[in-house]
Copies of this chain bind each other. A is one copy, B any other.
Amino acid sequence: MIVLLGGSGYVGGAYQDLFKKRGIEYVSLSRSEVDYSNEKILTQWLKLHQPDFLINAAGYTGKPNVDACEADKHNCLFGNAVLPGIIARACAEVGISWGQVSSGCIYSGSRPDGTGFTEKDIPNFSFRTNNCSFYSGTKALGEEVLKDEENVWVWRLRIPFNEVDSPRNYLSKLMRYERLLDASNSISQLNEFVAATFACFEKQVPFGVYNVTNPGHVTTREVAALIEKHGRAPHKFSFFDDEVEFMKKAAITPRSNCVMNADKLANVGIHLTPVREAIAQALDNWVPEN
């Protein structure tokens, strides 16, 4: 049996869909029933129910976007940096492996030669580099907290999307924003992300950090063009002149825009669809919200 934390969230919901579709036995724990943010309570629950594996899809992302984290710093710190440490202790105590949904939003830009960041690159959009949003800072600290832990996979998601219209879906966000910021990004098709991360457990690949993004990267303009091409643009897209204008008019805290290298995951035999193809598929099968 698999235990899922954060099952009510956007990523957690996709794990539930995967498990249901594949007939995998799982329990989605809600904090109101079992306060899994308390190490003792979580440990007791794990001892009692003896799951085979735990997935933590709980975290603090900020709604409607990361700007909200700036006004709720301590809860953001707790959800993204303290909670992973609590779960690590509980899982170690009962001797099970687990997976942490982390984020690629702890990088900015690309390597000097334009290629994507690998898991060996030190985050360059964190408190340590003092250029980040509070959200990204807490996510990078969460990885520091897990750095010496054994028996954990740390899966870096980036800007999730799929074919289902939703306020958390990257494609929906682009359709709804009045103006866009052009930037290069590696992004993650949500259903492929949950399947690929669960495959790490199924295939028992080596523990550690994995970038789980669709191979390649796209610019916002390319994605906007794809949305237009598929007839899903609600209006003509308009762009900010640059990040300075974006920060001045639309944002409180800087955004992570970055290119990731997903070779490590591919090298253990887990493959995601190339990014442009994945976006085209989502737009081909688009399911509007209402």
Q: List the interface of chain A (C-beta within 8 A of B).
A: 73-75, 77-78, 81-86, 88-89, 126-130, 137, 141, 144-145
Q: Please give, as numbers and ranges, the residues of chain B lying within 8 Å of A144 by CB-CB distance.
A: 73
For A86, give its contact among B74, B83, B126 (CB under 8 Å): B74
Copies of this chain? 2
For A77, give its contact among B75, B126, B141 (CB under 8 Å): B141
A12, B137: Cα distance in complex, Å: 31
Q: Please give, as numbers and ranges, the residues of chain B lying within 8 Å of A137 by CB-CB distance.
A: 127
* Residue in chain B with minimal CB distance to A35: B38
* Residue in chain B with minimal CB distance to A140: B127
Per CB-CB distance, the 3 closest pairs between chain A and chain B, nearest first, are: A74-B85, A127-B127, A128-B130
For A82, give its contact among B74, B88, B89, B126 (CB under 8 Å): B74
Q: Please give, as numbers and ranges, the residues of chain B lying within 8 Å of A130 by CB-CB distance.
A: 128-130
For A75, give its contact among B84, B85, B128, B141 (CB under 8 Å): B85
> Closest approach, in angstroms, between the C-beta of A131 and any C-beta of chain B?
10
A86, B77: Cα distance in complex, Å: 11
For A127, give its contact among B75, B83, B128 (CB under 8 Å): B128
| Residue from A73, A86, A128 with most neighbouring chain B CB atoms (10 Å) | A73
> Closest approach, in angstroms, between the C-beta of A83 and any C-beta of chain B?
8
> Closest approach, in angstroms, between the C-beta of A175 and any C-beta of chain B?
34
Q: What are some 7 contacts across the A-B interface (CB < 8 A)? A: A73-B141, A73-B145, A74-B85, A77-B81, A77-B82, A128-B130, A130-B130
A108, B91: Cα distance in complex, Å: 38
Q: Please give, as numbers and ranges, the residues of chain B lying within 8 Å of A75 by CB-CB distance.
A: 82, 85
Given contacts A78-B78, A128-B128, 5 further A-B contacts (CB under 8 A): A74-B89, A74-B145, A82-B82, A128-B130, A130-B130
A83, B75: Cα distance in complex, Å: 10
A214, B167: Cα distance in complex, Å: 54
Q: Please give, as numbers and ranges, the residues of chain B lying within 8 Å of A85 by CB-CB distance.
A: 73-75, 77
A81, B141: Cα distance in complex, Å: 12
Q: Please give, as numbers and ranges, the residues of chain B lying within 8 Å of A126 by CB-CB distance.
A: 127
